[in-house]
């Protein structure tokens, strides 16, 4: 049966329609990108493009969020406290929202061990720089040149690729979405518990993480403080 000409032709056709995909490369080193952004100096002394990129990358890495979710964050924040900022989504939903759930919010918390890598510090500096140009309401991220307006998902993706390329990472191998795999892989490698990773990234099954996002480098990275624990997707109380 397996050698029948019709069956062989059929299997060749299936192979041609769905050729084996290329193996995905290991994720890039999060520490390499963070160390590069550290060289810029304090957030309150940066240019608008630098502050924008630092804030964007820190939010992506600490939340394991999708680019589209970050692009949909609305300004002003629904709640703003010294150690907690909370944002709503323009569409009111995220990709993983389900019927019966209250509208999700995006919560940002500080990272005290290193102010250069603190999302709250970066957000505060970004808010000060953009406030004179900001239409209200608007998306959290604005374009960095006049006329200032809400930045699209594609614009945010371009900023991500530009920054990782400047850090010495081969941006031709990765999309902007790779921040999701890079941050969760780094968190797992450095000892963060799997349930915490799944909750932060909004995955219901561990197989989603292991099959599509967990791509550790050949050599285990040295343990470093983990950023991912500082930003969570929180559901509003019922």
Measure the CA–CA gap between 141 and 85, rounded to whole angstroms: 15
The percent of residues in the chain predicted with pLDDT above 70, rounded, is 82
Going by pLDDT thresholds of 50, 70 and 90, the confidence category of residue 166 is very high
Going by pLDDT thresholds of 50, 70 and 90, the confidence category of residue 151 is very high
The answer to which of 56-65, 95-104, 222-231 has the lowest mean pLDDT is: 222-231
Long-range contacts: 112-118, Cβ < 8 Å, 24+?
Answer: 113/225, 114/38, 114/225, 115/42, 115/43, 116/37, 116/38, 116/41, 116/42, 116/43, 117/34, 117/37, 117/38, 117/58, 117/227, 118/58
What is the rounded average pLDDT of the residues 151-155? 97
Specify the pLDDT at position 112.
Answer: 86
The DSSP output letter for 147 is S
pLDDT value at 1 more than 70:
no
What is the rounded average pLDDT of the residues 27-52? 96
Residue 93: Cβ-neighbour burial (10 angstroms; 0-12, 13-18, 19+): middle
Specify the pLDDT at position 229.
Answer: 53
Residue 141: Cβ-neighbour burial (10 angstroms; 0-12, 13-18, 19+): buried
Measure the CA–CA gap between 12 and 36, rounded to whole angstroms: 48
CATH 1.10.443.10 fits 22-235, yes or no: yes
Specify the pLDDT at position 117.
Answer: 96
Would you list the domain boundaries of the chain? 22-235
**Residues 6 or more apart whose Cβ sits within 8 Å of residue 218:** 26
Q: What pLDDT digit, counting tens, does each position of 191-229 carry? A: 999 999 999 999 999 999 999 999 997 764 444 555 665
Which run of H or E residues covers position 7? Answer: helix 5-17
Specify the pLDDT at position 54.
Answer: 98
Q: Up-side HSE of residue 155: CA atoms within 13 Å toward CB?
A: 16
pLDDT top residue among 156 and 104: 156
């Amino acid at each position: 049966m397996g050698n029948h000409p019709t069956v062989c032709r059929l299997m060749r056709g299936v192979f041609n329609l769905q050729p084996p995909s290329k193996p995905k490369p290991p994720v890039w080193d999060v520490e390499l990108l963070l160390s590069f952004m550290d060289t810029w100096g304090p957030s309150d002394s940066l240019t608008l493009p630098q502050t924008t990129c630092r804030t964007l990358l820190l939010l992506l890495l600490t939340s394991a969020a999708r680019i589209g979710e970050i692009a949909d964050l609305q300004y002003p924040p629904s709640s703003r406290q010294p150690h907690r900022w909370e944002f709503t989504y323009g569409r009111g939903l995220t990709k993983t929202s389900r019927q019966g759930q209250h509208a999700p919010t995006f919560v940002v918390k500080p990272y005290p061990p290193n102010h250069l890598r603190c999302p709250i510090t970066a957000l505060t500096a970004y808010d000060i720089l953009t406030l004179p140009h900001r239409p209200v309401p608007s998306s959290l991220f604005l374009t960095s040149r006049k006329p200032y307006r809400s930045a699209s998902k594609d614009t945010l993706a371009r900023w991500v690729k530009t920054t990782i390329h400047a850090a010495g990472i081969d941006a031709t191998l990765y999309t902007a979405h790779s921040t999701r795999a890079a941050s969760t892989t780094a968190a797992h490698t450095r000892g963060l518990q799997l349930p915490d990773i799944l909750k932060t990234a909004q995955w219901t099954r561990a197989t989603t993480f292991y099959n599509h996002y967990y791509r550790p480098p050949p050599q285990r990275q040295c343990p470093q403080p983990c950023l991912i624990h500082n930003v969570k997707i929180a559901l509003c109380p019922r």
